Amino acid sequence: DEITQDPDVLDTWFSSALWPFSTLGWPEETEDFKTFYPTDVLVTGFDIIFFWVARMVMTGMHFTGQTPFHAVHLTGLVRDAEGQKMSKTRGNTVDPLELVEEYGADAVRFTLAILDSPGRDIPLDPDRMAGYRSFGNKIWNAVRFSLSRVGSATVQESLDVTELAAPERWILSRLSKTAAEVNERFAEYRFDEACQRLYHFFWGELCDWYIELSKPALTGESPRPQVGEVLLTVLDRSLRLLHPVMPFLTEELWQRLPGREAIHPATICLAPYPVGEEAWRDPVTEERMDVFFQIVAWARNLRAELGIPPRDKATLYISSESSELAAFLGRLEAMALPLLRLDAVHFEAAPDGAHSDVVAGVAVGLVVPERELSLEDRERLMAEREKLRAQHQRTLGLLENKAFLAKAPEKVVDQNRRRLEEILERLEILEAGLAADEPGSS
C-alpha cells in the first residue's frame, strides 16, 4: 500500500503560536479580543523560548500588528528534590494533583514562587512544601486567635498613629515598609524576594513579636489604645499582600474580618493591593523596638543556656546612657515581664553576681533564682560546654591559619570572627552557670 503525507498537518507549535489571539475570537473583533489582547506578562520556562515564545511574537505581529505580551518572565525548570530533571525514564516525575492533595494548593503555589530565583532551576522538595504548609497553618491560627480576642474592634481604612503606643507604631511602620518592598519586588518579577519578605513579616514580626506583645492588652491586663483595631487592620493588609501567592487561604480568612465589608469589595480578589503608607513610617520607633527585641532575645537565650525552667522568675537590669532610650524601654516594662518570666525590671546597673552583657549598646544583667542543678541539667550543660570548646578550637584554628586568611573572602573571615565571639560569650555563660552550682560556691 502506498503511504502519503497528509498535506494539512502542521507541527504542534503552530497552533500554540496562535493561542494568544485565536482563543479570544480572532479574526473577529470581539470584546474579549479588544479587552485582553495584548496581555501584560507571559510566564514560561526558558526551554521553549524558540519553540513557543518567539513564534507567538512572530504570529502576533503578522496577524494583529502587535506583540501578544509586553514582558516575558522566564522561570527555571522544576526539578526533583535532588536537582535532577524529571522524566518518566528516571521515575522521578510528580503529579501536581497529588502534591495539592497532600500539601494544599496554596503551599505548592507559595513553594514554587519563593524558589523562583533568576537563573536557577526549582528543586521541588517535599520538605519545603511541608514547611510552607506550616506557614499556612500559622496564618490560620494567627487570624483565628486574633478574632477570638479583639472584641468589638473592626478593620480600619486608616489609622492615626499619633496616639498609639510603641508596639502599634512599630508594627504599622513595619507593615508599611513591607508593602512598599513587596510592590517593588513584584514589579521587578522577583517573586522569590516578595515571598521571603512576606514570610518574614507575617511569621517573624507579626506573629512572633506583635501578637505576643498584644496578648496582655487584648486580655485587659495591660490595656493600650486601639490594639484590636491595629491588629485587624494589619491582618487585613497582610492577607491582601499574601493573596497573589496564597489565594485560597487568604480569601477564606479575609472574609471573616469584621468591618472589612464596609470599606472593601465583596471579595479579596477585587480589593486594592496594599501600598506603603508614608504616614505610618517611624524609623526611630523601629530602631528602639529593635533594641528591646535584642534584649528579650538575649535574656531568653541566657535562660535556655542555663536551663532555667519557665516557672522560675528572674530579675532584669537595664542601664543605658541614652535617657530617651531608657525612658522608651521603661514604657515597655509591662510587656517584658510575661515575655521573659520576670518578677521585676530595674533600670539601673546590674548588681555583682548577675549575668551581665552589653546588647545593642545597652548594659543588661539578669539575676536568676538560686537553685541546685539537677544531675541531668548539669550533664547537659557540661556536654554543651565540651561542644562549644571544640567549636572554639576549630574556629580559632581557621583564624590563625595564614593560608585561610589569605585566600578566604573577607566576608567569610568576618563571619568566623563573629562566630568566635558568639562561642566565647556562650562559653562564659555556661562556665558561670556551672561554677555557681559548684559545692561551696555560695
Predicted confidence (pLDDT) at residue 111 exceeds the cutoff of 90? yes
Q: Is residue 300 located within the same domain as residue 232?
A: no
Q: Is residue 289 located within the same domain as residue 277?
A: no
Give the tens place of pLDDT for each residue, 333-368: 888 888 888 889 999 999 988 888 999 999 999 998
How far apart (Å, rounded) are the C-alpha atoms in residues 247 and 202? 16
Q: Is residue 300 located within the same domain as residue 169?
A: no
Confidence of residue 42 (pLDDT cuts 50, 70, 90): very high
How far apart (Å, rounded) are the C-alpha atoms in residues 57 and 69? 8
Average pLDDT, the chain: 90
Alpha-helix runs per DSSP H in 243-374: 247-254, 283-306, 323-330, 333-340
In 3-state terms, the chain is what percent helix, strand and coil (to 5)?
Answer: 60, 10, 35
Predicted confidence (pLDDT) at residue 374 exceeds the cutoff of 80? no
How far apart (Å, rounded) are the C-alpha atoms in residues 169 and 281? 8
- Residues 210 and 234 sit within 8 Å (Cβ to Cβ): yes
* Residue 438 burial (CB count, 10 A): 9
Q: Is residue 129 located within the same domain as residue 52?
A: no
- The fraction of the chain above a pLDDT of 90, given in percent, is 62
Q: Is residue 131 located within the same domain as residue 243?
A: yes
pLDDT of residue 430: 74
Angle CA(275)–CA(278)–CA(282) in degrees, nearest 5?
A: 120
| Closest residue by Cα to residue 104 from 237, 241, 249 | 249
How far apart (Å, rounded) are the C-alpha atoms in residues 258 and 263? 11
| Closest residue by Cα to residue 316 from 362, 377, 284 | 362
Q: Is residue 352 located within the same domain as residue 296?
A: yes
How far apart (Å, rounded) are the C-alpha atoms in residues 136 and 142? 10
pTM score, whole prediction:
0.80
Answer whether residue 275 is part of any domain: yes
Q: Is residue 157 located within the same domain as residue 241?
A: yes
pLDDT of residue 384: 81
Q: Which of 340, 367, 394 is the last residue of a domain?
A: 367
Answer whether residue 160 is part of any domain: yes
Identity of the amino acid at 232: L
Looking at the structure of the chain, the number of domains it has is 4
Strand partners, 135: none
Q: Is residue 161 located within the same domain as residue 231?
A: yes
Average pLDDT score over residue span 397-408:
86
pLDDT of residue 442: 47
Give the tens place of pLDDT for each residue, 292-338: 999 999 999 888 887 788 888 899 999 999 999 999 999 998 888 88
Task: Give me the sign of the Cα torsion angle 172, 177, 178, 182.
Answer: positive
Confidence of residue 253 (pLDDT cuts 50, 70, 90): very high
Predicted confidence (pLDDT) at residue 223 exceeds the cutoff of 50? yes
DSSP 85: B
Q: Which of 233, 248, 281 is the last residue of a domain?
A: 281
How far apart (Å, rounded) are the C-alpha atoms in residues 26 and 368? 77
CATH number at residue 391: 1.10.287
* Cα Rg of the chain, angstroms: 29
> Among 107-111, 186-190, 205-209, 377-381, where is mean pLDDT lowest?
377-381
The string over 93-125, giving b where at least 16 C-beta atoms fall within 10 Å of a residue's C-beta and e elsewhere, is eeeeeebeeebbbbbbbbbbbbbbeeeebbbbb
Q: Is residue 177 located within the same domain as residue 264?
A: yes
Q: Is residue 323 located within the same domain as residue 397?
A: no
Answer whether residue 19 is part of any domain: yes
Q: Which of 281, 307, 328 is the last residue of a domain?
A: 281
Answer whether residue 207 is part of any domain: yes
Q: Is residue 142 located within the same domain as residue 234?
A: yes
CATH number at residue 231: 1.10.730.10
Answer whether residue 72 is part of any domain: yes
Q: Is residue 153 located within the same domain as residue 58?
A: no
Q: Which residue is listed with cell 541531668?
A: 376
Average pLDDT score over residue span 187-192:
94
For the chain, the residue count is 442
Average pLDDT score over residue span 250-258:
97
Q: Which domain holds residue 336?
A: 284-367
Answer whether residue 93 is part of any domain: no
| Closest residue by Cα to residue 228 from 273, 255, 265, 258 | 258
Answer whether residue 412 is part of any domain: yes
Predicted confidence (pLDDT) at residue 438 exceeds the cutoff of 60? no
Answer whether residue 227 is part of any domain: yes
- Quote the cell numbers at residue 147: 478574632
